[in-house]
Every structure is written in C-alpha cells, then in structure tokens.
Structure 1
Amino acid sequence: MRTHSLERAFTLLMLFVHGLILLLISGNIWLLSHSVLLVLSVISVLVPIQVLMTFKIQKALLTPYHQLLTALDAIKENDYSVKSISPYSLGISGKAFKEIEDLSQILRKKSLLYKKQNLLSFALIQQLDSPIVILDGDMRIKDGNNALSLWLGKEWSLINLMPASHLQLLKTEQGWKFNATELNNNYSIRSGRYHDELGEHTLLIFTDISKELRRMQKESWQQLVRVLSHEIKNSLTPIQSLAQLLERDSKDENDKEILSIIVDRSKNLNTFVAQYSKIFKPLTINRQQIDLKTFIQTQLSLNEPLSFELNLQVASIVADPVLLEQVFINLIVNAKQASADQCHLTITSYLRANQVVIEFTDNGTGIQNPENLFIPFYTTKPDGQGIGLPLCQNIIEQHGGQLTLTNRVNNQGAIASIRLPATAELNHE
C-alpha cells in the first residue's frame, strides 16, 4: 500500500515496530510467569515510553524538513535574510541545507543586481523628456516620469491605478494609440513589455512628432518660397521696368492707364513675395520684460470698439515686444472679423507645465477649416493673403513656444492659445 505523506509512513512504521516490540516482550513475560497482571503492567509502562520516543524521533527527523520549508518560503517572497542551519553537519541533511543556503545567496546577488538595474533604468526614465507611463498586468497606471506630469499638467501620481483609458489610450492589433485624433496626429506611441517580481508590465513612451512634422513642413515651404521668390522676381522685374518705360513714353492715356495697372500690380506682387518670404525667415529675438496688462490694453485700444475681459494670473512675461505685438494684433483682428455682431474677447494668462499660456477666447463663428489654418496662401477672407497665421506661428515657435487654434467646446467661438516657456523673471498675480 502506498502512503501519501512522510508523516503517515513514519507513524505506520513506528506502530509496527513498537507493536512488534510489545508483542515480543509480552510473549516472553507470559512464557516465564503466566501472569496476565504482570503482562498488563509491563504494557502500561512501555506504551507511554514508546509514544514519547516516537514523538521525539519524529520531531528529530521532520524538523530539518520544516526548516527547509521555511527557507524556501522566504526565498519565494524574495526574503534572503532567513538562514537555514541544519541540525546535522554531515550526510544528506547537511548537504541539502548547504545547497539551499548557496541557492539563497545566488538569488540574493541576482536580486540586488536586478534592483540596481531597475534603479538605474528608473533614473534614466525620469531624465527623459518624453512622457513615459508604466501599466500593470490589469492595464492600470502603475508608474510614470516627470515628463508625464508636465504633459498632464499635474502630478501623475494623482491618476495612479486608474485604467489606461483615462489617458485616452487604446490597444489595437497594430499597437497602442490614442482615442483622440489630435493626440494621434501629434504623438507616436512606442511600447514594450517586461517582467519583475510583481508580474508583467507594459511600458509606453509618447514621442512628440509634431515638432518634427512641423520642421519638415517648414523646410518644404521654405524651399517652395525660395523657388517662387526667385522665379517671380526674375519675371516681374523686367516686366515692371519695361512697363514703367512704356508708361513714361506713351502718349495714349488709355495705354498709360493699362501700363500703370501693370506697374502697380507688379509692385504689389513683389511686395507680397517679399512679405511671404519672411514667414519662415529666422528672426532676431530681442527678449524684454513685458507687463501683460499694459501690453494687451495697448493692442486692444487700436481695435476699438471692442468688448473685452482680462483674467491674468501671470502678470508679466519675457519676449520680444515688437514681434509679439504682431501676433497679438493679428489674433485680435481675426477675433473681431469672425464676430458678426459685437465682438467680446476674453484674454487669460496662467502657468501650466512650466509654460506660460495666453488664451484669446472670442464669441465669433468659430473655425471652419482647422486643418488648413497654418498653410501659407490659404485664406477664407476675400481680401486675405494667407500670411498672418503662418507668420504668427513662426514668431511664437522661434520664441520656443507653440500657437494653436481650436473651437470652443460648449459655446460659439474659438480659442487662440499661445504657449511660451516660463522663465524665472515672470510674475504672478
């Protein structure tokens, strides 16, 4: 018969041995004395002694196993401080304890090395400029870096253990992506998986591709501008010169009028080409301390009548006042032209993620063509040239910032948002 535990096998063996001993002793006493009382007296004395001996022998044999189990349980919990000391220095028991102790030391060294590598990896992650989020096996937010906090505009720990969907993240067959189209257009997501003592984790890195796309777009437009400027100027200059000569020598008033139109249109076209070539031109930034309230009120006074409201949490910024004036005037004029009735403009400033945000919120008709806003030459105005917003974008970007235009969510109108790097010199209300 096969037993299923060492304890049971030991108990059965001891019962057999002690039973055999009792039987032999009792048999011999009976043969010598033929006294039942004597036989029972010997059995009553021997049985407790045998039980006590069985307990002590069992304890001596099984204690090493219990110690080994304790050591293995500690190793399972990554606790390598538990020392397994065998009651026997030699034999199979001593060898087993030594192997367990050697295994514990090997795993301890590996654990220390792994923790050091994790600390180094975590330190490197914290230094990266790209937002990084770590998800646990249940796809909940488990960890993040400083760049993630800046990207969120708040400490990432505030969303700890929330589902990945809280960041508008979605896992597809092609990989991870954002639910929001705007985020997908501006960021690519790289993902990886790793295991540690807590289980499987997913590492997601958000890479801002908008700057690279913008840089490539700018280079394409710069190349186009150079070609167009060169070809148009080379063609217009002789036409304008010839038209001026013919106009001066012409006696016919009708011809003079036609030639005058050619000269004027040539000048206007040359002016347009010259202005357009400035859109992507590197600018000399003369940074100065600017009092926002005074600066904005000056620009608004040039566009009366205009109803406005100021909510400036950041009172001053550091920027080029001449260049920033062009941006503010352009945005104010656009808001005014987008309003069929009385234009009401709300201008706010606040600090977010180490950036100064200045928002122009109007009550106009909103943006009908958001994808074409910053494309040069594109305009919906009858007398527009499609230069204003691209020029504003170039000015803000060369300040190290960003210009975006979006429609308001719950009301009619649009929001033009300027983001500039915060500096130590700015003041708060």
Structure 2
Amino acid sequence: MLKINSLEKFLSIKLLILASPSLILLALYQWQAGIHWQWIIVSLFALSLFIFWSIAVIKFRVMRAFTRAELHIDAIKQEDYNQFAKPSFSQGKVKAFHQQLNQLSDHLLKNKLNYDQQVLRVYQLINQLDIPILLFNQTQKLSFANDASTSLFEKPWHSYLHASAEQLGLSFDGTNWHYRLGIHRWQIKHSQIQEQDQVHQLLLFIDIKTPQREGQLIAWQKIIPVLSQEIKNSLSPISSMSETLADQSLLNSDRQMLQTITERCQHLHNFIDRYSLLNEDIEINRQNISIAELADSLKNTFHALTLTFDIAVKTIWVDLALFEQVFIDLLENAQEAEAKNVQIIMSNHEQHLLIELIDDGHGFDHLGNLFIPYYSTKFDGQGIGLNFCKNVIEHHQGVIELHNNEVKGVTIMIIIPLTSADN
C-alpha cells in the first residue's frame, strides 16, 4: 500500500484518482461513437495535459497559502512582528489562519515591548545601586555593568564592554567567582539569569572592607596612643646611651654600629609619629626611592634571609619611612615563618607597579583574617603588622594581597600606581 506522508503527495494522488474516471469515460464514449483510434489517443493526451495542469494549479494555490504562512512564522522567529504575509485567499480558513498569525504577532510584540521595558527598568535600578554589579553573557563576555563598577576598574565599564571575565581578573571555579585584584576586599555573590535561550551570569561585589574598617578604626584608636608612648619611652634612653657610647668609643667600627643604632632609633621615633596619625587623612610624603639602596638596606637588616631581587625599575615613588617599614614587617613575617629565601620581584604592569615577595616559609592559615586588627597566627603576635602594611599601601592608592603557594611559602602581591614620570 502506498504510504502518503506529505500534503503534496496527498493532493497529487487524490486529484489523479478523481481525474482518472474522466479519461476512461471519454475513451469509452469515443470508442462507441466509432471515432478513429488515433483521434481517441490525441483527445486523451490533451485531456491528460489539462488534468495535470489543473492539478499543478490547485497544488500551487494550496501550497502558496502554507508558504506565505511559513514566511510569517519565520518573521516571528526573528522577532520581526511588523511583517505580515498576505493570505492567498481573502475568505475562508486560509484567511482565518492568517488572521490568527497576525493576532499572534501583535500579542508577541506587546509582550516584547513589556519585556524590554522591564529589562530597561531593571538595568536602571541596577545602575542606581551603589555596589558594583557586572553582567556576563553565556560566553562570559561583559554585556552590562552599573556606574558603581568603576570602583573595580580604572576606566568606565563601557571601555571593557565585551571583555572576557579572565581579562577583567575574574575566574570561576565551578562554584564561586573570584576577583584576583580584590580578593581581600570584595565578596562576590552571583546568580544566573535566563534571557530567552541564553544564560547570563550576574555578579554582585560586596565591599567587605567597610565593616572591617569600622572595627579597625576602633581598635587602632585604642592601641595607638599606648603603643606610641611605650615605644617612645624605650627609644629615648637607647638613643641617648648610644650617642654617649659613640662619643666615648675609640674604635671606628664601634662608633659606626652605635651610630647605626642612633639612626634606627630616630627612624623608629619618626615612624611612630607618622604611625599614630595613620588612620587620619594624612598626606603621604612621596619621593623617588632608589631600589638599589632599598635592597642594600634590607639585606643589611635581614642577615638570616637570602634575598634575591628581580627588578625591572630603578626607582619607586613612595613614602620612604612608611614603605621601608612595610618591607621590614613583611620580611619579619617571612623570617618568623621559618623562610630561608625570599624573592622580591618588581615590574611595570600598565600604569601600575607590581611588587611580589615570594618566600619558602610554612605559609598562613585563615588568610581571610590576616588584615583584621589583633588577629594573629603567632603565639605572641599582636595582629598589627599586616594591618599596618595594608593601611600604608592603601594610602598609596594601592592594594595588597596574600596567597599561599601551592608547594610551600607565601606570595605577597602589592600593586601601587606609577604616578611619577621617572617610572
């Protein structure tokens, strides 16, 4: 039995079946009328052509109605709701079918306008929020961000439109998002947004530094006056005795060591004066510091550590007293963590100076708490040093981050702007 699986085949077969009796009846009539068989063949051939032509016309008219409807549906799929196909017939089912398509287009157009207005309102609402929000499409390319996101980047977010998450310093481990340049400041909340057949990633950046900073200010206000007074009380007699001994000493080497003690006491005295004002809006006294001189000073201070330098710049534009103390605190942490070697790398990264201190000590536990005042992983630690380093770096408009190495030790990354023309 012939299987009919298309409308075209159905029309062809059914119309042929309906036309076949006409051919048979014409042949019988002509045969009985005594018409010559040649004329019978000619008349049957002519009638067959007319039948096939009629079948083709009928199929064309019927299929054209479906073709025009198909074009209308394709326009709907492309979200072109203003394109209407003219029906093949002005009355009947075909006309009613096209009217249904037109009504469907009008309905979808209204829904799309409402959806676009809702999306616009959502974007306007997001733009008014004071927390950075980023929206990535299904290929993890930035498609939208609010004005508050400028706190994450150096330029307006439009400059990073269509940039990949990786280019923006973001990574996804399958569960959580991470921001490489703000791991200790920003906590990222994310969710998926389904838009038609695409899945977007919505990232909200919560500034965890703000509540921590309030607690830090209270802690510093309590400890700084006591700490400053105690250190000053200890430094004054030490400095006075070293000056007296230097005047009485006959050996040049002894005088040099005592002079170094006096200079270090004076340095610490100046440092405490600056340290006590650190939480206030102070002005950083920047100057061009020779990297070679800073390296020599650190090597002379830390004889137990093997310091290696990989330096791509000759000078850095920082506050000498504060920045040198940052290095001292960080290297003391490495030494107390039983590190033997510390590599210090300095390199230019666009408009910033990237400083990395990589040691081979035993690393840190609970990295997220290290910048909180009074928190310490040491038995006799005060939990002040790293917090001080963080404050100094932030006063230089920079950031500081700590990462445990995969095998051993810690990598400390400091990023500060290059604001000096010499760099």
Q: TM-score, normalised by structure 2?
A: 0.62
Match of 1:240 in 2: none
Match of 1:58 in 2: 59
Deviations 1:313-337 (A, max 9, x none): 3555444333223323333444455
Q: Does 1:425 align with 2:401?
A: no
Matches for 1:59-208 after TM superposition, within 5 Å: 59-78=60-79, 84-86=85-87, 93=94, 96-97=97-98, 100=101, 130=132, 132=134, 134=136, 136=138, 141=140, 143=142, 157=164, 167-170=172-175, 187-196=187-196, 199-208=197-206
Q: Is the 8 A contact 1:80 1:108 kept in 2?
A: yes
Match of 1:327 in 2: 326
Superposition deviation, residue 56 in structure 1: 2.3
Q: Is the 8 A contact 1:312 1:350 kept in 2?
A: yes
Superposition deviation, residue 193 in structure 1: 1.8
Quickly say closer, same or farther: Cα 1:77–1:373, change in 2 above 3 A. Answer: closer
Superposition deviation, residue 275 in structure 1: 8.6
Partner secondary structure for residue 285 of structure 1: coil
Match of 1:260 in 2: none
Structure 1's unaligned 5+ residue stretches are: 171-175, 234-270
Q: Is the 8 A contact 1:225 1:277 kept in 2?
A: no
Q: Is the 8 A contact 2:131 2:205 kept in 1?
A: no
Work out the CA distance in 1 between the residues paired with 2:89 and 2:316: 78
> Quick one: which amino acid aligns to residue 328 of structure 1?
F
Match of 1:214 in 2: 212
Superposition deviation, residue 201 in structure 1: 0.6
Superposition deviation, residue 105 in structure 1: 7.4
Quickly say closer, same or farther: Cα 1:202–1:69, change in 2 above 3 A. Answer: same
Partner secondary structure for residue 157 of structure 1: coil
Structure 2's unaligned 5+ residue stretches are: 155-159, 230-268
Work out the CA distance in 1 between the residues paired with 2:357 and 2:298: 12
Which sits farther off after the overlay, 362-371 or 11-20?
362-371
Superposition deviation, residue 168 in structure 1: 1.1
Work out the CA distance in 2 between the residues paired with 1:376 and 1:56: 92
Quickly say closer, same or farther: Cα 1:407–1:52, change in 2 above 3 A. Answer: closer
Work out the CA distance in 2 between the residues paired with 1:391 and 1:141: 37
Deviations 1:76-111 (A, max 9, x none): 244679763445566654665566467557757876
Superposition deviation, residue 212 in structure 1: 3.0
> Quick one: which amino acid aligns to residue 414 of structure 2?
I
Superposition deviation, residue 380 in structure 1: 3.6
Partner secondary structure for residue 301 of structure 2: coil
Q: Is the 8 A contact 2:374 2:384 kept in 1?
A: yes
Work out the CA distance in 2 between the residues paired with 1:370 and 1:205: 23
Q: Aligned pairs, how many? A: 360
Question: Percent same amino acid among aligned pairs?
Answer: 21
Quickly say closer, same or farther: Cα 1:67–1:89, change in 2 above 3 A. Answer: same
Match of 1:308 in 2: 307
Q: Is the 8 A contact 2:322 2:392 kept in 1?
A: yes
Work out the CA distance in 2 between the residues paired with 1:29 and 1:60: 33
Quickly say closer, same or farther: Cα 1:336–1:279, change in 2 above 3 A. Answer: farther
Work out the CA distance in 1 between the residues paired with 2:100 and 2:30: 50
Work out the CA distance in 1 between the residues paired with 2:294 and 2:203: 39
Work out the CA distance in 1 between the residues paired with 2:348 and 2:118: 36
Work out the CA distance in 1 between the residues paired with 2:285 and 2:61: 85
Q: Is the 8 A contact 1:378 1:385 kept in 2?
A: yes
Match of 2:283 in 1: 285
Superposition deviation, residue 67 in structure 1: 2.6
Work out the CA distance in 1 between the residues paired with 2:55 and 2:132: 69
Quickly say closer, same or farther: Cα 1:25–1:184, change in 2 above 3 A. Answer: farther
Q: Is the 8 A contact 2:369 2:375 kept in 1?
A: no
Q: Is the 8 A contact 1:150 1:353 kept in 2?
A: no
> Quick one: which amino acid aligns to residue 157 of structure 1?
S
Superposition deviation, residue 24 in structure 1: 4.6
Alignment RMSD (CA, Å): 5.1
Matches for 1:367-406 after TM superposition, within 5 Å: 367=364, 370=367, 373-374=370-371, 375-376=373-374, 378=376, 380=378, 386-406=383-403
Work out the CA distance in 2 between the residues paired with 1:406 and 1:48: 87
Q: TM-score, normalised by structure 1?
A: 0.62
Superposition deviation, residue 217 in structure 1: 3.2
Q: Is the 8 A contact 1:135 1:201 kept in 2?
A: yes
> Quick one: which amino acid aligns to residue 294 of structure 2?
I
Q: Is the 8 A contact 2:75 2:83 kept in 1?
A: yes
Quickly say closer, same or farther: Cα 1:103–1:290, change in 2 above 3 A. Answer: farther
Work out the CA distance in 2 between the residues paired with 1:426 and 1:121: 44
Quickly say closer, same or farther: Cα 1:419–1:385, change in 2 above 3 A. Answer: same
Deviations 1:223-257 (A, max 9, x none): 7659x96xxx9xxxxxxxxxxxxxxxxxxxxxxxx
Q: Is the 8 A contact 1:351 1:357 kept in 2?
A: yes
Correspondence for 1:416 among 401, 412, 415: 412
Deviations 1:194-241 (A, max 9, x none): 222xx1414231524431342243145257659x96xxx9xxxxxxxx
